[in-house]
Amino acid sequence: MTRKAEVYDVVIAGGRIAGAATALLLARAGLRVLVAERAAEGTDTVSGHLIKPDGLARLSAWGVLPGLLATGCPPITGAELVVDGRPLPGTRWPEDLPAPLAPRRHVLDRLLQQYARRAGATVRCATSFRSRDGHVITLSDRTVRARLLIGADGRHSAVARAVGAAYLDKRPGRSSAWYAYWDGSPLRGLRVELGRGKFAGAFPTHDQKVLAFVQLPVAGWRPGQGHRQLRDGLRACRTVGDALGPARLASPVVGARDLPVYFRQAAGADWALVGDAAHHKDPLAARGIADALLGAELLTGYVLQGWAGDLPGALSAYSGEVRRLLQPTADLNDRLARLDLTGDGLRSGWQALHAAEIELVSSPAPRRGHRWPVRLR
């Protein structure tokens, strides 16, 4: 006897930040949501950790921030920024936004999955998206039906391939990156140094560790030499290297070279992409997590707007809005990530990038007290 397919309103392939946050919001609105995350629950991932204040404001608005703070993630107290050898006044955010945090990804991802489950979503880890045929979606362990398929499965999105999502803007990566965790550092704030041919930073994270990273022009990438390139980069960026103090290396050195800039078509009539599946940029601006949370809120708003009426039209509007909102920071970040600017051009570029970030604070509605009051059932 043929097993009857499970039926959901939405299936989300990918259950890390973008996918779990989208599931949380859609489930709170009353939709039946299934999340299929290919990794085992609690698995770490190669990623930056820093969450900009606008991203934390969204977590606060959704009631998630207290849970994140309860995990012991240390607050980032103060920042020191050196650009082209000169201190730059700290970039200022609206005073009512939370200070930055830098949680480990296995902590943050799992926390968002837990909140999604509490909202009523079904979250299945170690479960992969395989294919779709209309509203029939094949996963690694079952076949289900859903009105809407969402790909939150990263840069190499299987959903994007399955639906034929085209690249609307794609540029090669400008920099490569090395990072590692350190024990025994007194650093409690953020330290960043940016100059011609180099970018480095350090900040505290979970378990009394500090993450320190170095970015170099992509042409300077040397496979297998991460330990040396990280050490050399930190010595060249004294603001960061000195801030580590007597710290000891506490992890392998991890590298990344595949860091392109792109926008994909982010939606069709019955599918959508969110997070890195829809848009990716060089990590220099540390916008990945905040942009994923913004995308989750944006996509939820358009899905709810069109659910009882013109869903294809609403999804089309979402796709255009992703690019409209994120193109300015993507362009500025791409220019800085070349690591070839100096002097006033470098400082003004950094300040312009921050000004573009501020424009995202109220897009669509991240401030405290915001809720999704819609109930469809």
Residue 90, pLDDT score: 63
Residue 318, token pair as written in the block: 């979402």
Residue 330, token pair as written in the block: 């993507």
Residue 97, pLDDT score: 87
Residue 42 pLDDT class (50, 70, 90 cuts): confident
Residue 179, token pair as written in the block: 């990072």
Average pLDDT over residues 251-258: 93
Asked whether 129 and 15 are in contact (CB, 8 A), the reply is no
Helix ranges (DSSP H) in 218-287: 226-236, 238-243
Q: Residues 80-117: pLDDT tens digits?
A: 999 999 998 766 788 888 889 999 999 999 999 999 99
The end-to-end CA distance of the chain, in Å, is 32
Residue 230 has pLDDT above 90, yes or no: yes
Site of tokens 């949680």: 103
Residue 116, pLDDT score: 98
Q: Where are the beta strands (DSSP E) in the chain?
A: 6-13, 33-37, 79-83, 86-88, 122-125, 129-133, 136-139, 143-151, 167-171, 175-183, 190-195, 198-204, 209-217, 248-249, 254-256, 261-264, 271-273, 279-280
Residue 369 pLDDT class (50, 70, 90 cuts): very low
Residue 373 has pLDDT above 50, yes or no: no
| 4: three-class secondary structure by DSSP | coil
Residue 308, token pair as written in the block: 């009882």
**DSSP for residue 140:** S
Query: Maximum CA pair distance of the chain?
Result: 72
pTM of the model: 0.94
Q: Helix crossing, 311-337 with 343-359: angle to 10°?
A: 160
Amino acid at 276: D
Task: Tell me the average pLDDT of the chain.
Answer: 92
Residue 370 pLDDT class (50, 70, 90 cuts): very low
Residue 363, token pair as written in the block: 């897009």
Spatial separation of the C-alpha atoms in residues 253 and 226, rounded to whole Å: 6
Q: How far is CA 193 from CA 173, 335, 339, in A?
A: 20, 16, 12
* Main-chain phi, psi angles of 134, to 5 degrees: 65, -125
**DSSP for residue 189:** S
| 179: three-class secondary structure by DSSP | strand
Give me the sign of the Cα torsion angle 218, 38, 322, 213. Answer: negative
Spatial separation of the C-alpha atoms in residues 259 and 273, rounded to whole Å: 19
Spatial separation of the C-alpha atoms in residues 108 and 123, rounded to whole Å: 15
Spatial separation of the C-alpha atoms in residues 198 and 46, rounded to whole Å: 21
Residue 362 has pLDDT above 90, yes or no: no
Residue 241, token pair as written in the block: 């290297």
Q: How far is CA 89 from CA 86, 109, 162, 199, 223, in A?
A: 10, 33, 47, 17, 36
Question: What structural domains does the chain harbor?
Answer: 6-172+259-359 (3.50.50.60), 175-256 (3.30.70.2450)
Residue 306 has pLDDT above 90, yes or no: yes
Q: Residues 45-54: pLDDT tens digits?
A: 878 899 999 9
Spatial separation of the C-alpha atoms in residues 215 and 367, rounded to whole Å: 32
| 358: three-class secondary structure by DSSP | helix
Q: Residues 276-287: pLDDT tens digits?
A: 999 999 999 999
